[in-house]
Amino acid sequence: MSFFGTRRSRQARVFRPTPSLWDRLLAAFRDYRVLTIVLLSAAAVCGLLLATTLGSSGLRWREGMLAFSGIQSRVPFRIVDVEGSRRAIEDALEAAPLVLRQNRDVVDRLESLLRTQLSVVANTESINQVSEDLLLSFGIRKDGSETERTAYSVLRNQLSTPDDSNGRRLDELMAEFSQFISDARRLGLVDQQSANRQFAENPDAPAMQRDQPIQVLDAAGTVLHNGVLGDVLLEDQLQETGRLGKNWQLYGKLAVLRKPVEAWLLSNLKNQLGRDAQATEVARTKIEETARDVYQNYTAGATLVPAGVQVAAIHRDALQYEQEAFEDSLDSGQRALRFLGRLLLTTVLVLLFGIFLKHARPAMLEDPSRLLLFLGMGCSTVFLGVWASQDPYRAEVIPLLAAVMITAIVYGQAVAIMTSFVLTLLITASTTGSLSSFVVLMIVSVASVLPLRRIKSRLIMIKLGFRLAAVSFVAVWAAGILEQSSLPDAWKNSGLLLTALKYSGSSLICCYLVAGSLPFIEQAFGIVTDISLLELTGVSHPLLQELARRAPGTYNHSIMVAAMAEAAAEAIGANGLLTRVGAYFHDIGKMMKPEYFIENITDGAENPHRSLAPNMSTLIIIGHVKDGLELAEENNLPEALHPFITQHHGTTLVEYFYREAARKADSDHRSEAEESNFRYPGPRPQTREAAVLMVADAVESASRTLKEPTSKRIQSLVHEIILKRLLDGQFDECNLQMNELRRIEESLVKSLLAQHHGRVRYPGQRTA
């Protein structure tokens, strides 16, 4: 024998080529889970890119931000001068013509009226026979003075002569008057008083000016004249320089009566021209539409905001126009390069977040539907945050805080903090690009996550709102101090204080919104908060009432297990309230066949299992898990309670019937006692809460078999049950540690000792 031992024969080596990267990628993509994650990641990148593009205006400056080095124009552009454009429109409207419409029938009625009144005067012998109104229309006052009698005599004598028996003189006068007034028939006339009353838009306005532009239309809408109001004013046209005044010398007989005829015209020529309001408005509207804007031109390098000055509302239009002009100046290559930068940044963030989830919360990657819902929430948050960050809202903190708090409630604080980092970075990069804005949003986001480990009441959310309001104000104000490097300037800065107040108000509003939306959040993400759990702890729930009626023994057992399991869960830092509610409903399936469970069989009643084979009894016992899950789904119990129903027995063995089957089996029927046929279908407990309930359920049931439940026997019983479950591998999938099992054991022992404590026997009390 060799000193180094026997020499081994050389085995033949099998060559296995190392798979290439391409082969490994193909193998990975053949797994539908990997393909699903890749598709969701691509959808997340596309959704985030779309959100940042659609919601962003491209303007990185906000009101209240300090321009240290000033802001210069990158490209030449022009901006509408609002004040100059307004003045230009006002000037154009002042020059807008007043549209007048002519009524030619007025002249015909006027001639007829003049003939009638002149005939009355011609047929009188003295001034006393003429009415005062008629004389006044000719400018003659009936006051008995010599002047008025002379004026009447002149008028009377010109109307007829002693040898004029058929009124031929009146016909000659009216013929001349018809020619004289033909100008009014062609164009139209209006007196100053009527113009002031009918044409002025404001009755309290001063008198209509003679240089007011007008346009005269006939009844058919044909334009007769474009000019000014003085062209149709009766007073102006009767002057020596007017159209009527120039023609008096052409009418010798009528010219003798010039003064009374002019007075009569001023008194009776009414309503020949009227204001066409609709046509006037149409003309003004056309002027407004065709009025050209007045622009203010800026050259490249022009100062938009001086150095050291805060951006204010007066700068916003110039900055926005400059941004739009800069965007228009980019060529396709520059746009593609910028899109590539956004794509790379978004892809890196999505990949980092995915790697984080793989290590910190792998369960999120295993549920595509809820992961898609989470991604949709993230994209919506970025879109709303980018859009709401614009002036004057500055409310990007509302969607951001809502998404972060919902994430903390649903997935935990670690995922929420990572989510806040990614969303804050995307929102900041797509809006201001300011480090101070990123820091402020991160501070507020992290501050919102820390108190949300457990939500035991809605009051927690309200208190959180006021705390976040204070944190937001301090964070914004502190960032302003760092930017301005001056405490007094920060206090005097109204823009900074207004922004801080906006952040505070937005934080408070967000907390109220999330608190009011908790039921919808729970339903959408399939979770249950302590608020909903507290609502389920009442024994008035229909399922618990039905359980108490059908299976009172099981109901009492569930109540005892709930108290024990809650204390044990709290001992290891698990969710005691969730464990307690899960214990209430973990055995609801027993109400379907209550008589087959020992706790519901009363003394003296026959045990139905005596007439059944062990295999059949095992199927009935195991069936309460499936029945319980169906009842939970039918009654819309939260999904968070379903694992307590399906996992509280794990894959444990139904020992009693297994032993009965083994005892009855003979050598030919050994297969009837196979252990796999007598185990629960599982799954094993996946959470610490479900594992605690498993142990508490088994311990409470076993403790009822103790005739003398002493402290030592109880400790031995609890230790034996936990050890048996441990060796059976029931805790392999729930991350329970050995020191936690020890604390669970101690808590259950205390609970059982409290249940089985001795009592003082009163005098005369009989021994049971």
Q: Are residues 29 and 168 in the same domain?
A: no
- Based on the domain organization, do 509 and 544 belong to the same domain? no
Give tens-digit pLDDT for 453-496: 777 777 788 888 899 999 999 998 888 777 765 556 666 677 77
pLDDT at 449 over 70: yes
Residue 2 is predicted with a pLDDT of: 44
Instruction: Please state the length of the chain.
Output: 768
Decide if 159 contacts 116 (C-beta within 8 A).
Answer: no
Whether 292 is in a domain gets the answer no
350 shares its domain with 480: yes
pTM beyond cutoff 0.85 = no
Rg (CA), the chain: 50
Claim to verify: residue 519 and residue 544 sit in the same structural domain: no
In terms of pLDDT, which residue wins out, 58 or 582?
Answer: 582
Decide if 245 is inside a domain. yes
Q: Is residue 274 exposed (0-12), middle (13-18) or buried (19+ Cβ within 10 Å)?
A: middle
- The confidence score (pLDDT) of residue 377 equals 94
Total domain count for the chain? 3
Distances (CA, A) of 192 to 204, 352, 563: 15, 84, 100
- Predicted local confidence at residue 768, as pLDDT: 45
Inside any domain, residue 9:
no
Asked if residue 304 is part of any domain, the answer here is no
79-114 pLDDT, tens digit per residue, is: 877 777 778 777 777 777 888 888 878 888 888 888
Residues 353 and 385 in one domain: yes
- Residue 629: inside a domain, yes or no? yes
Residues 235 and 258 in one domain: yes
Q: How do beta strands 98-102 and 213-217 pair?
A: parallel
Q: Which of 497, 527, 557 lies at the terminal end of a domain, its last residue?
A: 527
Domain span at 719 = 531-755
At residue 142, does pLDDT exceed 60? yes
- The whole-number average pLDDT for the span 170-175 is 84
- Structure tokens, 394: 């500055």
Domain boundary among 527, 556, 582: 527
Question: What is residue 16's predicted lDDT score, i.e. its pLDDT?
Answer: 60
Shared-domain flag, residues 496 and 406: yes
**Is 500 found in the same domain as 373?**
yes
Residue 4 lies in a domain: no
**The pair of three-digit structure tokens given for residue 631, joined into one six-digit string:** 């009842």
Query: Cα separation of 651 and 98, whole Å?
Result: 96
**Average pLDDT of 676-681?**
89
Q: Which residue has the higher pLDDT, 543 or 34?
A: 543
In whole angstroms, give the CA distance from residue 568 to residue 692: 7
State the Cα–Cα distance between residues 708 and 241, nearest whole angstrom. Answer: 136
- Confidence band, pLDDT 50/70/90 cuts, at residue 647: very high
DSSP-derived pairing of the beta strands 71-72 and 303-305: antiparallel
Place of tokens 């969701």: 40
Buried b (16+ CB within 10 A) or exposed e, 82-117: eeeeeeebeeeeeebbbbbbbeeebbeebeeebbeb
User: Is 547 inside a domain boundary?
Assistant: yes
- Name the burial class of residue 713, with classes exposed (0-12), middle (13-18) and buried (19+) by CB atoms within 10 angstroms of its CB: middle
Q: How confident is the model at residue 3 (pLDDT cuts 50, 70, 90)?
A: very low
Do both 518 and 537 map to the same domain? no
pLDDT at 672 over 70: no
Which of 527, 551, 582 is at the close of a domain?
Answer: 527
Taking alpha carbons only, the member of 560, 618, 542, 585 closest to residue 751 is: 560
pLDDT band at 10 (very low <50, low <70, confident <90, very high): low
44 and 138 together in one domain: no
Measured torsion, CA atoms of residues 290, 293, 299, 302, in degrees rounded to the nearest 10:
-170
Distance, in Å, from the CA atom of 633 to the CA atom of 635, rounded to the nearest integer, reads 5
Mean predicted confidence (pLDDT) in 563-588: 93
- Measured CA to CA, the distance from residue 290 to residue 284 in angstroms comes to 10
Instruction: Indicate which CATH number applies to the domain containing 539.
Output: 1.10.3210
Over the stretch 258-295, which tens digit does the pLDDT of each residue have?
A: 888 888 888 888 878 888 878 878 877 887 777 777 78
Q: What is the DSSP string of 741-757?
A: HHHHHHHHHHHHHHHT-
Predicted confidence at residue 694, as pLDDT, reads: 95
Report the mean per-residue pLDDT for the chain: 84
Quick one: how many helices (H) and strands (E) in the chain? 35, 10
In a domain, 293, yes or no: no
- Beta-sheet pairing, 213-217 with 309-310: unpaired
Do 165 and 181 fall into the same domain? yes
pLDDT at 5 (0 to 100): 47
Other C-beta atoms closer than 10 Å to the C-beta of 396 total 29
Query: Do 509 and 546 belong together in one domain?
Result: no
